[in-house]
Each structure stands twice: as C-alpha cells, then as structure tokens.
Amino acid sequence: MATMISTDNPLLNLSDLPQFELFHVEHIEPAVDQLLLECRAEINRLTSMKEAPTWQNFIEPLEVIDNRFERVWGPIGHLDGVKNSDEWHEAYVKCLDKVTAYHTERGQNSALYTKFKVLSESAECEHYNIAQKKVIEQALRSFQLSGIALPKEKQIEFQTISQQLSKLNSQFSNYVLKSTQAWFKHIIDETQLAGLPESAMGTLQQLAQQKGLEGWCVTLDFPSYLAVMTYADNRLLREEVYRAFITRASDQADNTEFDNSEHMALIRSLRHQKAKLLGFEQYSEYSLATKMAESTQQVLGFLRDLATKSKPQAEQELDSLKDFALKAFSMTDVQAWDVTYLSEKLKDQTLSLSQEKLRVYFPVESALNGLFTITQRLFGVTIQAKEGVSTWHSDVHFYELINENKEVIGQFYLDLYARENKRGGAWMDTVVTRWKSPDGHVQTPVAYLVCNFTPPVEGKPTCLTHNELTTLFHEFGHGIHHLMTEMQYLDISGISGVPWDAVELPSQFMENFCWERESLDLIASHVETGETLPDSLFESLKASRGFLSAMMMLRQIEFALSDFEMHAFYDEQNVEPIDQLLARIRNEVAVIQPPEYSRSMHSFSHIFAGGYAAGYFSYKWAEVLSADAFSLFEETGILNADTGAKFKNTILAAGGSVDPMVLFKAFRGREPNIDSLLKHCGIAV
C-alpha cells in the first residue's frame, strides 16, 4: 500500500468533510501532484505483484485510491463552479491536464487491464455476487473505451485528444460564465420596468447596489433574465435582454472576447477523432456504449415519435398564443422574446394563474419542510439541519438523512441562490460516495445540491416560483439517488455506473410531487397567513401542467435532436455548421423560430462542457421512465409508504449494480409506456 497522504495541505486532509474556509489557490497544485504521485505508485505496486489478483488484494486497494481521488479532486472542481475566480480557475485548468493524463494512462495500462481480465476469468470470480461482477464488467468496458486495444502511437494520440477535450470543456464553461457576467443594463427610470412584480424589482435593485449603483440592474443571471422575459411590459427591453442572453459567449455578443465558436468546432472535431480511434463510426455510438438506448436509430426514432405526437397540438397552442397577442396587445408579429411574457399573461387570463400568484405559497422554509416530510413519508428517512459545518458561502446549509434506527445514512450541502462568480443552472454532484473500506468502515455518502434561485432581498422571506420548486425537487431526486444507495462498492454506488439516460429517473420522478394535492398540502404555506394552496389555485395549477406543454416538449426535442445529430452525422470532409444544423432541426420540429442572431448552442454547457454530449435525449428518455414509475403512486396513493419503500429498495438502493431496465420492470412489473409521459404533459395520446 502506498504511503498515506500528508494532512499538512488542507485539501489532502481526508479525515472529515472538506474544510472549505481553509482552502486557498496555492494548495491546489501541490495537493493534486501528491495525490497523483501516490495513485500511480499504488497502481504500479498492484500491477507488479506476483500473486493472482483477488477482490481483497486487487479491487479493494484500487477502491482506496479512487475514493481518495474523489475526495481531493472533487472540492477543487466544485469551488471552480460555485466560487469562481480567475486565479482558482487557472490553477484548476492547469491541474485538469494532469488529472486527465492520469485517467487516460490508467485506462490504457495494459498490466492493469490484464489483472482485471485474469480476475474476471478466475474461479473466484464465479462466486462473486452480482454487484462485484458488475464492477469488473464495467472496468473492462472502461478499458475498451479508453483505448486499451490501440497500438502505442494511437494510445498517445487518444491521450492527447482527451487532454485537449478536458481543457476545451472547461474553457467553454468559463467563457459562458464570463460572458454572462460581462453584460448588465443599468436602469434609472422605473417606468422601463413596468410590469415586474415587487419581488423582481427588489432583486434588480439589490443587483444595482452590489455594483455601487442607484436604481436597478438587469443581469443575465437566470433569475434576473427570467423576471424581465416573464413580466416586463417594455417589449424593447425584453428584446434587448433576450438578445444579450441568447448570444452569450458567441460572435454576436456585445463583448466577443468570450466567443465559444472556435471551442465548439474543436470539441466536435476532437470527439469525432476520439470515437474513430476506438472503432466507432460516430461519437454518438461511443456515447451510446454506456447508455440504455441501444442505437442511433432507436434514439432518433424515439425523439421523432415524440415530436410527431406533439407537433399538431403545439401548432394549435401557438395559434392560441398569437390570437391572444393580437386581441390583448394588438401584436401581429409574435417573436421569441414575447413567448414567455405572452404565455404568463394568457395563463393568468385563462387559468387565473401566474408564477407570482403561486410564489407567495412557497417560502423556501415551507418548501424544504414539505420536501423533507414527503421524503420521510415515502422512504422512512428524517432530514435534519446540522450546524457548524464548513461551507463555501454563508447561504449554504448542511443536512443529514437519518433512518428509522437513528443512523445517519447520508448528508448534503444545499446552495440555493444565484450570485456573482457562481455557474448558472442547477445540479447535484458527489462529495463522498458510500463505500465499505477494507477495514469494514462504511463511508457515509455526501452530496452537493446547487440551484440558482432568486436570492433573499432586504431580509424578507425568500419565496420560490413553482418552476423553482420543481427544480428543487429535481435536484433532490438526484441527491437521494446518491444518498440512499445500499451499495458498498465504489464504482456502482449511488449514481456511479448508472447509465446517463437512466440517471434522470429519480430526479424527474420527484418533480411529480409538486403537482399533487396530497403532497402540495405539505409544501405550500402562504408567506403571510400560512394557509395551504386554495382549491381554485390548485385546480388552475393542475390544469397548467398541460398549458403550452406541446410547445415546451418540442423545444426539448429540438435541443435533443440537435445534440444527437451533431454527433451522429459528423463528416470531417464537409462539416455541417452548427447554425445550419440548428435551422434544419427547427424547420422539422419547431413551431416558432428564433431570430437570425440566436446562438443558443454557444452557452449550452450541458453538451459542450457537461456529460450530455450525444446524450441530451436522456432527459426525455428518463422522463418516460419517471412518469410511468409515478403512475404506480397514482394507482396506490401519492404518498403510499409501501410503494415508496419499493421505489427506494429497487431504483435507489441498487445504484449502478443492475441494468436500469431490470430495475424498472422489478418496480413497475412491466416495460415502460410512453403514454404516462404524454398524459402528464397534457398531450393527447
């Protein structure tokens, strides 16, 4: 066993949770250098040993260094996303090269691969349990996808490409953040912001104060952007803010310093080269090698089937929106920057419902209490806040999951609000993975849950829109997938080893509880009176689930098809420009066209900086599974504890140890059915 890592550097102290207040940029490179040195030494020891590999002498020591790696490198990447600075990002990117090189050389380590092969073919392996066999099976697949079969010169080429891609992914994400922060609009005349509710005005005023300005500031952080697009009566302002948002990190932005065009072209080219090196015709095939979906044809057929079923209704919805725009606003040319605004007005007129009417019923504390109560009812787990834990910002809180035996089975950090130097969007990431170490100690899993909601203003209670509420439940669904696992092997514990198009199942499943009377009664509590959601508002909310839902369905299909075709039909001799590809897909499936200057892909971090390349379809794929899984609760009771226990003990507990389709059928008793999704979306079957 390699020498234990020194604890002089706070990033290398693995005895407890990360001590964020002690981390400084000068710690990063020394910590990563020492970590990689010791990981390599341990791999060298394991590949040099004379004894035949066994679980105890081979797999367990590998799990030790992999666990150590996660706990050292994880916080470095996390802080780059939630507390970004130029200095931290520069050090992170520098170390990213080293980390990528380590992973690639490990994936191409023939001696290590041989040990896995020998173990997989041994008599001992025949007696391993399903989970252990899955660990070995996935390791062998990872070797194949890392170029283990390539000749040496091709392996070097593969490693170079992998390093370039890691750097480009990080640069893409950083450019989106920098471009988002580079733009703001200072407003002195309050009449320009007519239509915005008091809560949004308070947010914009707070943004101005943070910049040392009077009046209000509109920024491209999502709460600010969405408030203008939803409520601003000033159509010219909506267009200006829309243009700034949709052209972020592009050649069309006001500030083109952070143009991602070159990054995107290089990423597409390098992904294609990487796939070709491994014997795949296209990167989409490489992506599908680790997913539930089996082929390009299956994915494209699935997406186009959804589009075909949705488009007639979407066309009717757009006609209704245009009719309303003409009658209510004498608007004859509905544009992309009008859709959100008109939708909110039409929803209020037809359903007497708006995000602002709902917001007062979802104070953050009530929403969290409701979420935690639902979790307890369904899964028998209590959630309690824990004070005194080191965090990266004063807004961040820490919680523990406690089972019926009073044991802490999981913990998570909750970072809810948008702020400067924080990456946009919402996500769950792992801090610590559940794992049984060689000495028998079971490690408590820990997660980061990150959102970008409108921050508190002047000490007033923060209230969520219903959209924000569903985002909270979505990320929490990822969280419980990680935290409620019962696996004890690192590579298949929690979300590890779960195919990307199944990993969204628990997250999208949890969103359903934001739409049901029984669960909403536990969540909703008027910020002033404490009353639950009135019947009239609930009925409107329930009806709104299908409001313009086909248009929203097509928007997601547009993203998914554009992503997949971008990676499924790449021709290095005749590369289809992204803007042409997008136009072609939109002409096929969209019912409303954005303006010529639109550059939505330039800030699409899911595809160019995250793990969703040739996999954005996963959201819709998993939504079919989640809607159909929830239909069992609709049949047995929304908060039925027995059904909740069944979901926990199959979908959540198994982690990546069992094929997700096997798990789904064990839970639902049959193959998934697309009708549940269409029904939830209000789309006629």
Count other C-beta atoms under 10 Å from residue 86's C-beta. 11
C-alpha 83/C-alpha 89 separation (Å) is 10
DSSP-H helix ranges across 380-423: none
Question: What residues contact residue 261 under an 8 Å CB cut-off, 6+ apart?
Answer: 250, 251, 602
Q: Which of 475, 504, 558, 565 is catalytic?
A: 475
**Cα within 13 Å of Cα(9), Cβ side:** 18
What type of residue sits at position 467? N
Q: What is the 3-state secondary structure (H, E, C) of 41-74?
A: HHHHHHHHCCCCCCHHHHHHHHHHHHHHHHHHHH
Instruction: Name the phi and psi angles at 243, rounded to 5.
Output: -60, -45
Closest among 58, 67, 69 to 491, alpha carbons compared:
67
Q: Token pair of 615, please?
A: 């996999």
What type of residue sits at position 518? E
Categorise residue 547: left if φ over 0, alpha if ψ from -120 to 50, beta otherwise: beta
Query: In sequence order, what are the beta bridge partners of 453?
Result: 417
Residue matched to tokens 């992973």: 103
CA distances to 33, 62, 65, 105, 495 from 1, rounded to whole Å, are 18, 10, 10, 20, 28
Count other C-beta atoms under 10 Å from residue 459's C-beta. 5
Residue matched to tokens 């004063």: 394
Number of helices (H), then strands (E), in the chain:
26, 9
C-alpha 551/C-alpha 224 separation (Å) is 23
C-alpha 661/C-alpha 672 separation (Å) is 9
Q: Token pair of 123, please?
A: 């008599």
Q: Token pair of 222, please?
A: 């999502």
Q: Is 475 a catalytic residue?
A: yes
Q: What is the dihedral of CA 133, 137, 138, 143, to 10 degrees?
A: 140
Q: How far is CA 662 from the centre of its chain?
A: 24
Active site residues: 475
